[in-house]
Amino acid sequence: MASVKEIQTTCCYCGSGCQLLFTVDQGANKILDVHPVKGRTNDDKACLKGWYGWDYLNDPQIITKRIREPMIRKNGRASPLTAVSWDEAIKFVADNLKKIKEKWGPDSIMGAGSARGPGNEPNYLMQKFIRACIGTNNIDHCARICHAASVVGSMQTIGEGAMSLSIPEIEDCEVIFNIGYNAAASHPIVARRIVRAKEKGAYIICADPRITETARIADLHLQIKGGSNIALTNAMANVIVTEGLQDQAFIKAHTKDFDAFWEIVKVYTPEHSAKICGVSPDAIRLAARKYAGSKHSVILWGMGVTQFQQGVEVVKSNCSLAMLTGNFGHYACGTGPVRGQNNVQGTCDMGVLPNVYPGYQSVTDPKIKEKFEKAWGAKLSDKVGLTLTRVPERVVHEKDPAKQIHAYYIFGEDPGQSDPDLEELRETLDKIDFVVCQDIFWNKTTQHADAILPATAWGEHDGVYTSSDRGFQRIRKVLEPTGNVKDDWEIICLVSTAMGYPMKYKNVQEIWDEMRNLSPKFKGATYEKLERQGSVQWPCWDEKPEDTGTMFLHEGGKFATPDGIGIFKTSHYQPPAETENSDFPLTLCTVREVGHYSVRTMTGNCRALRNLEDEPGWVEISPEDAETLKIASGELVRISSKRGTCITRANVTERVKKGAVYMTYQWWIGACNELTISRLDPSSSTPEYKYCACKVEKLRDQKAAWDDVNRQYEDIRAKMRIEKERALA
């Protein structure tokens, strides 16, 4: 028993940042037990992903296999992927990237970072590699497809894109306005804080077209029509001003542009917005009065706000509502764009975005650029780079080869499953001259790769994640990796060095220290402080122990804008880009479910989680629509949009309104992204995943349909290198 050790780390699944304690037999390299322990955000609780979501480390080979060897296609895309040495793989990647850079220039190369397992340090290096070695700002990650709108909208109004308050503060809020956010599915530990707030007497408002778990515990459920968020928030502002409920002193002292805001908002009387939203004017009035009635009101939102083409505008409107009522700058109030994936906040913090360096420092600011050029010893581009959602435009739709993307280095992401309009995405990946995937599992994207670089997984390396409420927390190696894999940061260093821009570090702490010294608001978050405190919330400006970080932002009404003043902004309502019509009479919205994580390569390889749900997923449909279409719950159906089609199971439920259907992201066969639209928010380039037109058809021969599903599943798993499922619970 001498080799048994306890190791604490941060959960790898959502932005709640729960702390887990692993008991490991180090001699046998085996996990014996996992349970949650007290952390800043989770107390000592975890959801089922925390309890059971580590099983993929055992590589049970249920839906896909771990990648254990570097692989390349030696003779072009049509040739097979062949296992090679690391030296050969690195040379192959470096030579191809160099050739493309020389022929087409640095802006012909795109990089994608990872908000999942790798952590902050490899992401810092990834953006440094793309900027300093390749010479472009074409670097982005999956925040683009979830909360980029929150960053853009919040920056433009209050100057900082993250949650203004901390997760623990939520339970001391007196009014919690959830809009487009179902914490029970996306952040169960945040949901627990909401339940505790309710137990303490808080008033819960939920604006959501579905009867979600949050709607069920709400005091007021505004079952609005999908895509009508801004009509609701504008109307709430209208009521607050019309009834004199605004905080005039706060507005006068800390904000500007109220008059321009009112010019828009005055149109949105409750009666006007009620017609757009499909709820009663009195319900809107009640929501506004309750929200404005407390100095401890918070607005929490998720992708039900951001994944619309008006996502940025709704975020601005949310921030304006909080300014209007003086709900910023003190304990238990503010705005909460609650980030989905475990390290999507951190990957933004590290500058894996086309417009900012680490610490949200603009690439177009000459002084900032000069600072990074000096530190990195490289000439940097001052041109804002490409967002990953615009890659298809620059490959499939761009006819001039000089303006096209010719290489895509994808690090720990799976756009072949997660991006909208998958048919177009597959065409994009096939047309790009050179695709590199650095990952842990075979997935939908690796099938298009010219080179595959196998990395260590969460649990096999050290580093730092950032929780959704700006909290840096350590992740630690639990198991020794097996196979011919390397840490992500080492792989990036090897490729960069082989391309002529040497990068050498001894460990992740050295990378972290370099990043801190270039990022003023993270400077004080030393590894020593992280060990001592467990969690350090940024901004943390000073290394001295007295600077323990920042629980809530904008203290005393001083916003993070250049002049410290908050800016009122909102917009007029616009309907979604593609609405229901005679060919496609229903609307499709994509949602999350608690047991599975985004693209499912990790949760699908955990026995307990896989057994909760499996292919081909499901589509939620109202009893009225199911009756019209003669569909029974559990039957297989075909669902189609203008862009594609897939088979899934019907889940007939009163949770959804007539005319709207809902699917989750993660299924390979019931893949909602075969159907979704790539229409983007113009400011954040986030796709409108939450609304497109579709139709659902009953499949008459259910047996033949199930045979087809089973055949498709086996075909896909064969592509994921599963010969025979190794382990079932």
Alpha carbon 197 to its chain's center: 26
Nearest to 426 by CA among 441, 444, 440, 438: 444
Quick check: 600 binds ligand SF4 (CB under 6 A)? Answer: no
Residues with Cβ within 8 Å of 149's Cβ and at least 6 positions away in sequence, in order, are 305, 306, 307, 311, 312, 314, 315, 681, 683, 684, 686
Question: Shortest Cβ distance from residue 155 to ligand SF4 (Å)?
Answer: 26
Question: Shortest Cβ distance from residue 600 to ligand SF4 (Å)?
Answer: 14
Quick check: 475 binds ligand SF4 (CB under 6 A)? Answer: no
- The order of strands in the sheet holding 297-301 is 220-222, 203-207, 175-179, 297-301, 334-337
Nearest to 309 by CA among 680, 632, 727: 680
Question: Shortest Cβ distance from residue 17 to ligand SF4 (Å)?
Answer: 6
Q: Which stretch binds ligand SF4 (CB under 6 A): 6-14, 290-298, 509-517, 670-678?
A: 6-14
Binding mask 47-66 toward ligand SF4 (x if CB under 6 A, else -) reads: x-xx----------------
Residue number with CB closer to ligand SF4 (189 or 386): 189
DSSP string, 15-84: TT--EEEEEEETTTTEEEEEEEE-BTTTBT---HHHHHTTGGGG---SSS-B--S-EEETT-TTSPEEE-
The 10 Å Cβ neighbour count of residue 382 is 12
Residue number with CB closer to ligand SF4 (73 or 187): 187
Question: Shortest Cβ distance from residue 362 to ligand SF4 (Å)?
Answer: 31
Residue number with CB closer to ligand SF4 (43 or 614): 43
Integer Cα distance of 416 and 303 in angstroms: 20
Answer for which of 9, 14, 300, 560 binds ligand SF4 (CB under 6 A) is 14
Question: Shortest Cβ distance from residue 532 to ligand SF4 (Å)?
Answer: 22
Residue number with CB closer to ligand SF4 (16 or 622): 16
Integer Cα distance of 686 and 315 in angstroms: 13
φ, ψ dihedrals at 665, nearest 5°? -75, -30
Nearest to 386 by CA among 116, 136, 148, 154: 136
Residue number with CB closer to ligand SF4 (47 or 292): 47
Q: Which stretch binds ligand SF4 (CB under 6 A): 15-23, 276-284, 374-382, 577-585?
A: 15-23
Residue number with CB closer to ligand SF4 (39 or 159): 39
Residue number with CB closer to ligand SF4 (188 or 616): 188
The 10 Å Cβ neighbour count of residue 495 is 24
Residue number with CB closer to ligand SF4 (50 or 122): 50
Buried b (16+ CB within 10 A) or exposed e, 258-295: beebbebbeebbbebbbebbbbebebbbbbbebbbebb
Binding residues for ligand SF4, rule CB under 6 A, total 14
Answer for which of 9, 18, 314, 357 binds ligand SF4 (CB under 6 A) is 18
Q: Which stretch binds ligand SF4 (CB under 6 A): 11-19, 220-228, 398-406, 516-524?
A: 11-19
Q: Which residue is nearest to ligand SF4 (CB)?
A: 50
Please, is 728 exposed, middle or buried when counting C-beta atoms within 10 Å of its C-beta (0-12, 13-18, 19+)? exposed
Quick check: 11 binds ligand SF4 (CB under 6 A)? Answer: yes
Residues with Cβ within 8 Å of 301's Cβ and at least 6 positions away in sequence, in order, are 150, 178, 179, 180, 181, 314, 315, 318, 335, 336, 337, 338
Q: Which stretch binds ligand SF4 (CB under 6 A): 7-15, 59-67, 396-404, 516-524?
A: 7-15
Residue number with CB closer to ligand SF4 (34 or 491): 34
DSSP string, 441-464: B--TTGGG-SEEEEBPPTTSS-EE
The 10 Å Cβ neighbour count of residue 726 is 12
Residue number with CB closer to ligand SF4 (14 or 540): 14
Question: Shortest Cβ distance from residue 191 to ligand SF4 (Å)?
Answer: 8
Question: Shortest Cβ distance from residue 596 to ligand SF4 (Å)?
Answer: 11
Residue 292 CA: distances (Å) to CA of 65, 231, 296: 52, 17, 9
Tokens of 559: 């916003």
The H-assigned helical ranges of 280-421 are: 281-292, 303-306, 311-324, 344-349, 366-376, 415-418
Answer for which of 16, 96, 306, 537 binds ligand SF4 (CB under 6 A) is 16
Tokens of 681: 């928010």
Binding mask 361-390 toward ligand SF4 (x if CB under 6 A, else -) reads: ------------------------------
Residue number with CB closer to ligand SF4 (11 or 511): 11
Integer Cα distance of 653 and 392 in angstroms: 36
Question: Shortest Cβ distance from residue 142 to ligand SF4 (Å)?
Answer: 16
Residues with Cβ within 8 Å of 135's Cβ and at least 6 positions away in sequence, in order, are 101, 106, 378, 379, 380, 381
Integer Cα distance of 603 and 633 in angstroms: 25
Quick check: 167 binds ligand SF4 (CB under 6 A)? Answer: no
Residue number with CB closer to ligand SF4 (190 or 619): 190
Question: Shortest Cβ distance from residue 39 to ligand SF4 (Å)?
Answer: 9
Residue number with CB closer to ligand SF4 (53 or 354): 53
**CA geometry: angle 592, 471, 540, nearest 5 deg:** 150
Q: Which residue bears the tokens 């009666």?
A: 271
| Residue list 20-49, contact with ligand SF4 (CB under 6 A) | 42, 46-47, 49
Quick check: 13 binds ligand SF4 (CB under 6 A)? Answer: yes
Residue number with CB closer to ligand SF4 (17 or 463): 17
Residues with Cβ within 8 Å of 363's Cβ and at least 6 positions away in sequence, in order, are 137, 354, 355, 356, 357, 369, 380, 381, 382, 383, 384, 385
Q: Which residue bears the tokens 């908000």?
A: 115
Question: Shortest Cβ distance from residue 476 to ligand SF4 (Å)?
Answer: 15
Question: Shortest Cβ distance from residue 315 to ligand SF4 (Å)?
Answer: 23
Residue number with CB closer to ligand SF4 (46 or 449): 46
Question: Shortest Cβ distance from residue 231 to ligand SF4 (Å)?
Answer: 32
| Residue list 178-237, contact with ligand SF4 (CB under 6 A) | 187-189
Question: Shortest Cβ distance from residue 171 to ligand SF4 (Å)?
Answer: 15
- Give the residues lining the site for ligand SF4 (CB under 6 A): 11, 13-14, 16-18, 42, 46-47, 49-50, 187-189
